[in-house]
């Protein structure tokens, strides 16, 4: 009876933890609202405009690299220490951006692009790793729910911030974000506890099915993630899908306005992209739980190829409606990558070292940002019809490569999973 009671309590507790984590990730997801933040910054500092898009790319790079640093803090100290450090960086990043933006465009790269983004990256990895351990039976669902909150941030709080810009200075909005973010993260750090070592057994007692309660370790599953062929093939797909998504997300509002779309609707479009990004994460996580990783990768590679072509033609033919539809749909495959990084890391490499493996898998966001930065330096900044047209045609070609890579990945991944199953049987 005591075991059954404990199991029931844990099953309830984990959903409270999931809800708390999702709310906190809503604030962290504001890192994706840069195209909204860039508007008042561009008005106050016209000389910065040509580099504002690159600030977003740098923030994505810092977001990924910091996650690996956070994984080491989790391993050597604790989840609590990692989240508190992240709160300090996030708060300092937004506050210093507000107070020091006038010092030069470099301040945006340092305070927002590095400090605030690093706080987001450390917290993102720590929170998702901490809460996912409570859901060994529903990895895709848990990842999808948390990342849905992360993805919806631009719609919920980004749109709110955009409305506040018309009433109060943007600097005040940034200070508010810093305060709220720090409070939520510190509360989460002290409230949410790591999952017990026997979480599988306890969930089985409460009625959860399809859980492996064996303590046996598969040599294949415990391989170093960087030494495996399947990881590097996965990286091709993930990097390209992320590069396509980052290009759109970082310039959605500006691209819409260059096609003559009303500024207010352009801001709303950022929120709609965020909505699809968030909803897509939950849907993709559910598809993974039901059908596995490979179907998700095929579907999203096909969608990202079509949407890149759609965006390119929207500028070539000056079709605002096509831009709107393609922009919203881009967020669906883009949102699949973080969820699949979590699901892939856990399924292929196991629970041991999950925080580190998730951080490594999420480096594809950084590699995607590097691809974008390289294209930006070669073609020029996004913001005019000719440049946007060229960039999206290039990304459409890369997206076709991502689709082809899934065929190679499928064969390797299936062979690995079969070997792991054999080793555990």
Asked if residue 246 belongs to a domain, the reply is yes
Query: pLDDT tens-digit profile of 310-325?
Result: 999 998 888 999 999 9
Asked if residue 3 belongs to a domain, the reply is no
pLDDT at 209: 58
Asked if residue 210 belongs to a domain, the reply is no
How would you write the chain as a 3-class SS string? CHHHHHHHHHHHHHHHHHHHHHHHHHHHHHHHHHHHHHHHHHHHCHHHHHHHHHHHHHHHHHHHHHHHHHHHHHHHCCHHHHHHHHHHHHHHHHHHHHHHHHHCHHHHHHHHHHHHHHHHHHHHHHHHHHHHCCCCCCHHHHHHHHHHHHHHHHHHHHHHHHHHHCCCCHHHHHHHHHHHHHHHHHHHHHHCCCCCCCHHHHHHHCCCCCCCCCCCCCCCCCCCHHHCHHHHHHHHHHHHHHHHHHHHHCCHHHHHHHCCCCHHHHHHHHHHHHHHHHHHHHHHHHHHHHHCHHHHHHHHHHHHHHHHHHHHHHHHCCCHHHHHHHHHHHHHHHHHHHHHHHHHHHHHHCCCCHHHHHHHHCHHHHHHHHHHHHHHHHHCCCCCHHHHHHHHHHHHHHHHHHHHHHHHHHHHHHHHHHHHHHHHC
Asked if residue 5 belongs to a domain, the reply is no
Calculate the average pLDDT of the chain.
Answer: 85
pTM of the predicted model as reported, rounded to 2 decimal places: 0.74
Mean pLDDT is lowest, of 140-149, 315-324, 352-361, 385-394, for 385-394
Asked if residue 212 belongs to a domain, the reply is no
CATH number, position 78: 1.20.1250.20
Q: Supply the range of the domain harboring residue 411.
A: 10-197+218-424
Asked if residue 39 belongs to a domain, the reply is yes
Please give the share of the chain, as a percent, with pLDDT higher than 90. 33
Asked if residue 67 belongs to a domain, the reply is yes
pLDDT at 1: 42
Query: pLDDT tens-digit profile of 7-25?
Result: 557 778 888 999 899 889 8
Total tally of structural domains belonging to the chain:
1
Query: pLDDT tens-digit profile of 260-311?
Result: 888 778 877 877 887 787 788 888 888 888 888 999 999 999 999 999 999 9
Asked if residue 49 belongs to a domain, the reply is yes
pLDDT at 257: 83
pLDDT of 400 strictly over 90: yes
């Amino acid at each position: 009876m005591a075991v059954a009671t404990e199991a029931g309590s844990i099953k309830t507790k984990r959903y409270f933890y999931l809800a708390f984590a999702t709310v906190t990730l809503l604030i962290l997801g504001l890192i994706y609202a840069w195209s909204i933040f860039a508007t008042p910054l561009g008005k106050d500092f016209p000389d910065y405009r040509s580099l504002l898009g690159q600030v977003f790319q740098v923030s994505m790079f810092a977001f990924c690299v910091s996650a690996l640093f956070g994984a080491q803090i989790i391993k050597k100290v604790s989840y609590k220490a990692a989240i508190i450090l992240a709160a300090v960086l996030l708060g300092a990043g937004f506050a210093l951006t507000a107070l020091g933006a006038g010092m030069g465009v470099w301040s945006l790269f340092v305070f927002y692009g590095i400090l605030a983004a690093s706080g987001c990256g450390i917290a993102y990895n720590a929170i998702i790793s901490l809460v996912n351990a409570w859901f060994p039976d529903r990895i895709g669902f848990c990842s999808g729910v948390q990342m849905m909150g992360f993805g919806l941030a631009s719609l919920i709080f980004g749109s709110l911030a955009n409305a506040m810009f018309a009433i109060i200075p943007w600097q005040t909005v940034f200070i508010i974000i810093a305060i709220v973010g720090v409070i939520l993260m510190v509360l989460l750090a002290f409230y949410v506890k790591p999952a017990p070592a026997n979480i599988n057994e306890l969930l089985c007692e409460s009625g959860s099915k399809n859980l492996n309660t064996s303590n046996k370790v598969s040599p294949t599953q415990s391989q170093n993630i960087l030494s495996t062929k399947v990881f590097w093939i996965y990286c091709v797909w993930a990097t390209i899908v992320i590069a396509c998504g980052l290009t759109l997300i970082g310039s959605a509002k500006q691209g819409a306005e260059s096609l003559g779309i009303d500024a207010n609707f352009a801001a709303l479009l950022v929120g709609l992209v965020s909505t699809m990004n968030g909803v897509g994460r939950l849907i993709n996580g559910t598809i993974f739980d039901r059908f596995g990783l490979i179907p998700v990768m095929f579907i999203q590679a096909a969608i990202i190829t079509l949407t890149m072509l759609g965006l390119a033609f929207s500028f070539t033919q000056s079709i605002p409606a096509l831009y709107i539809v393609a922009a919203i749909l881009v967020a669906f495959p883009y949102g699949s990558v973080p969820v699949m990084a979590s699901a892939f890391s856990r399924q292929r490499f196991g629970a041991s070292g999950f925080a580190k493996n998730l951080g490594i898998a999420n480096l594809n966001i950084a590699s995607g940002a590097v691809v974008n930065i390289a294209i930006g330096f070669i073609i020029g900044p996004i913001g005019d019809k000719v440049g946007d047209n060229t960039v999206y045609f290039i990304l459409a070609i890369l997206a076709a490569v991502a689709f082809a890579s899934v065929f190679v990945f499928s064969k390797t991944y299936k062979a690995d999973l079969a070997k792991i199953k054999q080793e555990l049987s």
